[in-house]
Amino acid sequence: MEEVQNNLLNHLDDEDTARLKGRRVVVKRKFRVKRTSLVIACILVGAIVWLLPREHHATPPTGQGITDKLSAAIRANVRKFVGQTQFAEATRVANKELMEMSTSNGTRWRKGGKTMVVLHVANGKYQEWQMRTALYSLRKYNPEIKIVTLLAMQNKVEDNPYAWEKDCSLGPYSGCPMEVFYEDYTFTAGDEFVVYNRARHLMKFISELRERQAQGIDAEYTNIILWEPDMTCLRSLDGIVAEPEKPIGHQFWYMEEYHIPRCNNIAKACSMRTDKPPPVGLPMAIHVDDLHTVLGLWIQKTILVRTSDWGKDPDSGTSSWIADMWGLACAFADLGWEVEYTTRIGPHSGMDFDHTVYPETWAVHYTFLSEFKDKGWRLEKRDWWMGAPLPRPFPPIPDEANDLQKRWFAEWHEALMATYEPDSRETYW
């Protein structure tokens, strides 16, 4: 188990480790850590490591060393959970290659500031039409920005009528340039949590990007904006630049511990530093080197949330579907970074409490249903697994809709009609 955890945490390379060394923990509006707690944790870990078999004292390979006190404390946090057999076995099987994905290229916190949008999608038709409309809206407001799509081929096209594959001939909203990944990660038997793929594919892509940047290729792209297919862009993303160790993202009210009992349990248990990890998620801007640093811990925390008793619903016993969102928030908490977030960045249509579109709003996130039953009007993305919503044009949203819904529908419907042909059918069945 010790070797497995080392492989996970050794994703941090020497540069990542050096950055963390001696950092004072300041997390905006959220939490501060007492140095005495960290010192005690480090002393305890040091004693444990000294008592381990001699091979554990060997110097790790160059570029993969975890030597500073903060990383030692992170290991201490990981070891709290090693008694969980299910987690241990899942991690042993799934994460053996993490150590190989790290690079040490001498480019820590390079300057440049140009933005690259990274969009991760699965190869179900359900996400294809979302991706195409998202790309249209991104291009509408950001015609020159670099966008890269990461495609998870988790469905076999020959066996699945819902599946699609890379096809750049479809035009400017086909997702190209596109990186295709054929790995489908499942960490425990029966836990087909497809979102595991996002962080794993990001890890591979960002590691390879940093290798190219070390050779002077795409070195100007230091600011990464993470995007999801069910997000409709509302503005230019110019000027949205994350400083080192200061990610910027949307605040998710349902991750705040006082709303849902499950969230309260996760918030209290997932981080060694605080019981209030930042309730932050996508869309998000983050420095490319910070993204590389956090990815291994993001995966680690996601697995913990999915497999630990405290991560499950107290009543039904089901695992959290937003475990990867929690994994990222809890990883930020352990690293002690200053995280900026607000509910204005990526509000949810029909769900968020504030129905205003602000100048600083990047996108509308339509992950939730919009419905007006008395008008017979409904738009739910999960209704359209076989293809883009029908009919096209789609019936106008009722006048009773709030300002956020109206702005989102206008932008989304424009994107839908620009990327798909009109179709009078009302269903695919």
Q: For position 229, which CATH number holds?
A: 3.90.550.10
Is 166 domain-assigned? Answer: yes
Q: What pLDDT score does 177 carry?
A: 94
Q: What pLDDT score does 50 carry?
A: 44
Token look-up 């400017």 returns: 172
Q: How far is CA 133 from CA 136, 175, 361, 368, 378, in A?
A: 5, 10, 18, 17, 18
> Could you tell me if 68 and 148 lie in one domain?
no
Predicted TM-score (pTM) of this structure: 0.77
> Could you tell me if 216 and 71 lie in one domain?
no
Q: What pLDDT score does 360 carry?
A: 94
Is 328 domain-assigned? Answer: yes
> Could you tell me if 227 and 119 lie in one domain?
yes
Give the residue from 342, 358, 388 where a domain finishes. Answer: 342
Q: What is the mean pLDDT of residues 142-155?
A: 94
Q: What pLDDT score does 183 carry?
A: 85
Of 105 and 309, more confident: 309
> Could you tell me if 166 and 96 lie in one domain?
no
> Could you tell me if 152 and 283 lie in one domain?
yes
Give the residue from 76, 101, 126 where a domain finishes. Answer: 101
Query: Is a pLDDT exceeding 90 seen at residue 255?
Result: no
Of 92 and 4, more confident: 92
* Structural domain span for residue 318: 114-342
Range of weakest confidence among 20-29, 179-188, 392-401: 20-29
Of 12 and 335, more confident: 335
Is 394 domain-assigned? Answer: no
Q: What pLDDT score does 104 carry?
A: 38
Give the CA angle between residues 201, 325, 102 to the nearest 5°: 35
Is 387 domain-assigned? Answer: no
Asked if residue 146 lies in contact with residue 176, where contact means CB atoms within 8 angstroms, the answer is no
> Could you tell me if 143 and 83 lie in one domain?
no
Of 126 and 69, more confident: 126
Mean pLDDT, the chain, whole residue set: 79
Q: How does residue 66 score in pLDDT terms, banded at 50, 70 and 90?
A: very low
As a whole number of Å, the end-to-end CA separation of the chain is 50
Of 160 and 230, more confident: 230
Number of structural domains in the chain: 2
Q: What pLDDT score does 160 carry?
A: 87
Is 306 domain-assigned? Answer: yes
> Could you tell me if 130 and 87 lie in one domain?
no
> Could you tell me if 62 and 146 lie in one domain?
no
Give me the amino acid identity at 355: H
> Could you tell me if 76 and 120 lie in one domain?
no
pLDDT tens sequence across 282-323: 999 999 999 999 999 999 999 999 989 999 888 888 888 889
Query: Is a pLDDT exceeding 50 seen at residue 384?
Result: yes
Is 396 domain-assigned? Answer: no
Token look-up 């996108």 returns: 363
Percent of the chain with pLDDT strictly greater than 90: 55
Is 286 domain-assigned? Answer: yes
Q: For residue 230, what are its two tokens? A: 């069910």
> Could you tell me if 84 and 209 lie in one domain?
no
Query: Is a pLDDT exceeding 90 seen at residue 372?
Result: yes
Listed in sequence order, the DSSP H helices in 308-419 are 323-335, 403-419
Is 330 domain-assigned? Answer: yes
Listed in sequence order, the DSSP H helices in 181-227 are 196-214
Query: Using only C-alpha atoms, what is the Rg of the chain?
Result: 22
Q: What is the mean pLDDT of residues 21-26?
A: 36
Give me the amino acid identity at 300: Q
Give the residue from 290, 321, 342 where a domain finishes. Answer: 342
Q: How does residue 252 score in pLDDT terms, banded at 50, 70 and 90?
A: very high
